[in-house]
Amino acid sequence: MTFTERLEQARTNIAEIFEVTRIGVALQNREISAEQASDAIARLGAKPMSRDDLELAAH
């Protein structure tokens, strides 16, 4: 992997971490539902989480 490729991968990872954090905060603040959070996480390419797991994480 070239330096440029590695740098781009790092940028993507940081952006994904930021997005997951944003989703988590919105869920915790009840700005979005557990279903919306699961959909948003799945769009990032992660395995969808169960509604129960997300609701537990929100508390």
pLDDT tens for 10-44 read: 999 999 999 999 999 999 999 999 889 989 988 98
Number of independent structural domains in the chain:
1
pLDDT at 33: 92
- pTM beyond 0.75: the answer is no
**What domain range is 47 assigned to?**
3-57
48: nearest Cα among 28, 31, 23? 23
For residues 20 and 26, give the distance between their C-alpha atoms in angstroms, rounded to a whole number. 10
Spatial neighbors of 32 by CB under 8 A, at least 6 apart, are 23, 26, 40
CA 20 – CA 17 distance, rounded (Å): 5
d(CA 48, CA 35): 10
